[in-house]
């Protein structure tokens, strides 16, 4: 006796239908879930006071930057034996007792460090060197009253010397 070949099951009871249609349907559902997660709470790789100019992320020049440029301010920051020393150069009317050095991580605000440099002698300031991970850091130096600001970059861990300069306008990053 031959089996009945004409008997058929409904389409939803066929395992091959679920294999062929189920996997792409699962991928579509997963893509919508991924989109919802990404759109609901996106990470910002550019901090609030920076802007994208082409492929470069640049900080807009502020009045504090323009004041520092007018005063001809610059600084040399060195670290040695766990101590940071900053020598300020320029045409200041008075010598601030303290300077604030903000060591800014380019993308993760939680890794920013704020150091208060104490006046040592003449235009020299010192503070203990902070302990941090490795990577690029943006240095922002300003007095406590924030009347001027000079900036620089440093690769952490800190060693050696770097220059901080006033930026009256943003340098062009385009060819």
Q: Is the pLDDT of residue 58 over 80?
A: no
Cβ atoms 143, 55 nearer than 8 A: no
Q: Is the pLDDT of residue 35 over 80?
A: yes
pLDDT-based confidence at 99, cuts 50/70/90? Answer: very high
Cβ atoms 156, 133 nearer than 8 A: yes
Q: Is the pLDDT of residue 86 over 80?
A: yes
Bond from prior residue into 63 cis (ω within 30 degrees of 0): no
For range 150-156, the mean pLDDT: 86
pLDDT (0 to 100) of residue 26: 95
pLDDT (0 to 100) of residue 114: 92
Q: Is the pLDDT of residue 49 over 70?
A: no
Indicate if the alpha-carbon torsion angle 165, 167, 173, 175 is positive or negative. negative
SS3 121: strand
pLDDT-based confidence at 131, cuts 50/70/90? Answer: confident
Taking residue 168's Cβ as centre, other Cβ atoms within 10 Å add up to: 12
pLDDT (0 to 100) of residue 59: 60
SS3 125: strand
């Amino acid at each position: 006796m031959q089996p009945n070949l004409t008997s058929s099951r409904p389409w939803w009871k066929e395992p091959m239908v679920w294999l062929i249609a189920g996997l792409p349907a699962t991928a579509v559902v997963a893509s919508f879930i991924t989109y919802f997660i990404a759109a609901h709470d996106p990470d910002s790789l550019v901090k609030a006071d920076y802007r994208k100019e082409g492929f470069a992320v640049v900080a807009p020049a502020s009045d504090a930057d323009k004041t520092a440029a007018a005063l001809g301010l610059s600084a040399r920051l060195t670290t040695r034996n766990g101590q940071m020393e900053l020598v300020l150069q320029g045409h200041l009317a008075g010598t601030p007792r303290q300077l604030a050095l903000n060591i800014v991580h380019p993308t993760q605000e939680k890794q920013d460090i704020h150091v208060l440099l104490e006046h040592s002698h003449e235009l020299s300031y010192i503070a203990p060197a902070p302990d941090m991970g490795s990577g690029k850091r943006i240095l922002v130096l300003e007095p406590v009253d924030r009347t001027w600001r000079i900036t620089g970059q440093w690769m952490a861990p800190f060693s050696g010397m770097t220059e901080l300069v006033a930026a009256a306008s943003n340098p062009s990053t385009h060819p």
